[in-house]
Amino acid sequence: MRHRHIAIFLPVLATAACLVGPTYHRPSAPMPAAYKELAEKQAALGLTWKAAQPNDAAGRGKWWTLLGDPGLDDLEEMVAVSNQTIAMAEAQYRGARALVGGVRSSLFPSIGIGVSAGRSSGVTTRSPGAGQAAPAVDSFEVPVTMSWTLDIFGRIRRSVQAGLANAQASAADLEGVRLAMQAEAAMDYLALRGLDAEIDLLNRTAAGYQTALGLTENRFKQGVVSGVDVAQAKTQLDATRAQATDLSLSRAKIEHALAVLVGKPPAEFTLPPAPLRIVAPDIPAGLPSELLERRPDIAAAERRMAAANAQIGVAVAGYFPSLGLSGTAGYLDSKLAGLFSLPNRLWSLGASLFETLFNGGQRRALKEQAVAAYDAAVADYRETVLTAFAQVEDNLAALRILAEEARYQNDAVTEAELALKLANNRYGNGVTSYLEVVTAQSTALTNERLAVELLTRRLTAGVALIEALGGGWHASDPAPRDAGPQSNNR
């Protein structure tokens, strides 16, 4: 009869259970009317602006293929498989998911079974006579115990909500690390190929200087020029070779950094020199703001807000009493034989209600702490959104300004090459000294190197823009591998 009463009572408790604390609603974040760097183009095309919502699971795809370099494609595949920073973030994500399972287990009763055997003296149902010792008593027990703290006011469920949100934030962190490692590998690769181009330029220039030195030495032997011209030609040649050698050190360091990114010892990783044939991709004028929804750091910050909100509910639940159920069933007898017979059966069932009447303001302090943590999470979310827009604007501005600078620099290269050609003609005709040729050579080489450096900077800024947008600027890109839980509030 009692069991039936309990069976009826438990569903009533479950139905009456409530969830205290605030319901989560995503706070607003500052949103500009449009990208400042693209406002004129967007207005001319009649494009509209959509406020971004965190959407970390949206597709990113293999954005590096926009650069069209097979070597970079192979490198990125190795990063995805062997990068240890990504592996560490993936392990942290698995740990966060496991933690949710541990918290959720508190919603269910805990059941255990034990076996005990003992022998004692001094405990008997009959009083021994004078001078007689109490008889020894054996006891054998096989109990099954149950304990269950009912989540009437939602303390455990709020903890599960917080754990789920933190796990989703960890998934976003994993995607953020993956995107950061991919972008770092692309930037390092571009820097290395830029150095390859500069070294090749210096080597080709040095070969030309070697030819010029030979001609100058012949003219010196013929008495046409002085030894000063020969010394100047040698100085120019040696200085150019020194510059190429110095760049080789920088290249070696970048190659070693790439080896670490792909999870290999530097001694086992080599990228042979190759020409810089990558062209900076065009940026669509109608770059949509919703691409920022894919930024993992925004998704992580939003999920941590949700977790902090749930923790307020946990703190509020501390004001209410806790109800626990406990029970024991099993067998007890003084003899092992026949222990599991019906007369040896035992059971007990109980309930306990506990409420803290005074704790010196501890509950109020915990609630205030939880509210403060939520306010800090809101500020961090809004700061992350602002930082994201600033990074996009930075790189849009960099690409626009560097493209303009590159046009001027290409003109400077053309003019410097013309000046060098005229200086060589004047020197060959005996109109001027070799110093004018040296000056023209130095100017031409400096401008050609600046042109290569500008191209590298433009490519790097393009990669930085892709990273700032959360990976690419095509919303239809295929979804990434193991994206983890979506960051949207459900």
- Amino acid present at 86: I
> Do the Cβ atoms of 66 and 73 come closer than 8 Å?
no
Instruction: Tell whether 121 is covered by a domain.
Output: no
Instruction: Tell whether 81 is covered by a domain.
Output: yes
> Do the Cβ atoms of 390 and 300 come closer than 8 Å?
no
The rounded Cα 448 to chain-centroid distance in angstroms is: 38
Q: What is the DSSP secondary structure assignment for residue 293, as one 8-state letter? A: G
> Do the Cβ atoms of 470 and 292 come closer than 8 Å?
yes
SS3 285: coil
Instruction: Tell whether 85 is covered by a domain.
Output: yes
Question: What's the domain range around 57?
Answer: 18-108+153-324+362-468
- Cα separation of 41 and 396, whole Å? 13
pLDDT of residue 160: 93
- Put residue 119 in one of left, alpha, beta given phi > 0 → left and psi -120 to 50 → alpha: beta
The CATH code of the domain that includes 384 is 1.20.1600.10
Instruction: Give me the number of domains the chain comprises.
Output: 1
Number of C-beta neighbours around residue 385 at 10 A: 22
What is the pTM assigned to this prediction? 0.82
Q: Comparing C-alpha atoms, which of 191, 169, 168, 195 is closest to residue 261? A: 191
Q: Comparing C-alpha atoms, which of 328, 383, 322 is closest to residue 355? A: 322
- Cα separation of 180 and 174, whole Å? 10
Number of C-beta neighbours around residue 147 at 10 A: 14
- Cα separation of 453 and 252, whole Å? 18
Instruction: Tell whether 347 is covered by a domain.
Output: no
Q: What is the DSSP secondary structure assignment for residue 184, as one 8-state letter? A: H
Instruction: Tell whether 73 is covered by a domain.
Output: yes
- Amino acid present at 196: D
Instruction: Tell whether 266 is covered by a domain.
Output: yes
List Cα–Cα distances, 485 to 31, 166, 301, 382, 419, in angstroms.
25, 11, 14, 22, 62
Number of C-beta neighbours around residue 153 at 10 A: 22
Instruction: Tell whether 54 is covered by a domain.
Output: yes
- Cα separation of 304 and 378, whole Å? 9
Instruction: Tell whether 38 is covered by a domain.
Output: yes
Return per-residue pLDDT of the chain as tens, 490 residues: 444 444 444 544 544 468 888 999 988 887 776 777 776 655 444 444 444 455 544 446 788 888 889 999 999 999 999 999 999 999 999 999 999 999 898 889 999 998 888 887 764 445 555 556 667 777 888 888 988 888 888 888 999 999 999 999 999 999 999 999 999 999 999 999 999 999 999 999 999 999 999 989 998 998 888 899 999 999 999 999 999 999 999 999 999 999 999 999 999 999 999 988 887 777 765 565 666 777 899 999 999 999 999 999 999 988 888 888 888 988 887 777 777 788 888 888 888 888 888 888 888 999 999 999 999 999 999 999 999 989 989 998 998 899 999 999 999 999 999 999 999 999 888 888 889 999 999 999 999 999 999 999 999 999 999 899 888 654 433 333 333 333 333 3
List Cα–Cα distances, 7 to 61, 84, 483, in angstroms.
53, 53, 43
